[in-house]
Amino acid sequence: MIKTEKITSRDNARLKLARRVRGGREDGAMFVEGIRLAEDASRSSMRIQECFVSSKAFKNERVKNLAARLINSGINVNEVSDDLFSSISDTENPQGLLLICDRPVDGRADLEIAIGDLDGKIPIVVFLDEANNPSNLGAILRTAEAAVVQGVIVSKNSADPFSPKSLRASMGSAFRIPVWTEVSLGDAAEWAREHRMIVTAADIEGDKTYTQINWKLPRLMVFGSEAHGLREVDKEKVQDLIKIPMDSNVESLNLAVSAGVILFEAKRQIMP
């Protein structure tokens, strides 16, 4: 039988902690909700602080197995009623399982390790400039992992890639791909030059299409804000400005869609 800590009060200190983490008010921690995401987190290098399970969820074999593994690893598993779980959940129809985990602390180091492990393969790194939609940001992380991108750099004034909404959209990719946050485009471009990468950006005014450039060269692929794209001053930091040809009646593509189109062309050229 699984031995858990039972919480019966809405005002319990651990539940209050979970609500603070859910709202982004607890530095160094992130809120991981749902069976699939929790399983992915448990298989990653993330340190798990706490686990919360609803009484109903304990009837699920996957939840019971995960809870048992966490307890065997010395992690506290808290059992709460379904009503209490709803008070800490970030979803309308919760699955009854969530984790509080440490946030990654050094995305730059993780990214440089990933590049160093390539053994001669071509590195592609994504830079997101003021990507303020958390669902789009999470979807790009998922796309980047699928397209075998080495990591994602996220600018200041972007959505939090480790917020509950971004994590759900990334489907666990945020646990597996290096994410370096709070970086200016200028600093990212300088870093790219130090690693002999061509700074490339998607823009409607690009002079080449995304299929016309050579992706068998190391590149930092920059995507501008959904709201205003790249600023003119930032285009000066870019070496290759590329576009996706579109029907003239369409003004622009969703940011995550644009990333998917371009990154899978890069993958096609690098790994045909």
Please give the order of strands across the beta sheet that includes 29-33.
Answer: 5-7, 76-80, 48-54, 97-102, 29-33
- Strands 198-202 and 219-223, sheet pairing: parallel
Q: Are 126 and 255 members of one domain?
A: yes
Q: Are 121 and 11 members of one domain?
A: no
Q: CATH code at 13?
A: 3.30.1330.30
> Which among 82, 28, 20, 27 is positioned nearest to 55, based on CA atoms?
82
9: containing domain: 5-102
Q: Are 226 and 95 members of one domain?
A: no
Q: Which two tokens stand for residue 104?
A: 């990654």
Q: Are 122 and 246 members of one domain?
A: yes
Structure confidence by residue, pLDDT tens digits, 96-130? 999 999 999 889 999 999 999 888 789 999 999 99
Structure confidence by residue, pLDDT tens digits, 32-61? 999 999 999 999 999 999 999 999 999 999
pTM (predicted TM-score) = 0.93
Q: Are 95 and 167 members of one domain?
A: no
C-alpha 47/C-alpha 186 separation (Å) is: 32
Q: Are 71 and 167 members of one domain?
A: no
Q: Are 256 and 142 members of one domain?
A: yes
Confidence of residue 1 (pLDDT cuts 50, 70, 90): low
Q: Are 232 and 162 members of one domain?
A: yes
Domain boundary residue among 70, 102, 134?
A: 102
Q: Are 224 and 129 members of one domain?
A: yes
Write down the pLDDT at residue 154: 98
> Which among 148, 103, 111, 180 is positioned nearest to 264, based on CA atoms?
148
Residues 33-66 as b/e (b if ≥16 CB within 10 A, e otherwise) read: bbbebbbbbbeeebebbbbbbbeebbebeebeeb
Q: Are 136 and 209 members of one domain?
A: yes
Domain boundary residue among 83, 102, 121?
A: 102
Mean pLDDT over each residue of the chain, to the nearest integer = 93
Q: Are 97 and 113 members of one domain?
A: no
Q: Which two tokens stand for residue 147?
A: 């397209």
How many structural domains are present in the chain? 2
Write down the pLDDT at residue 231: 86
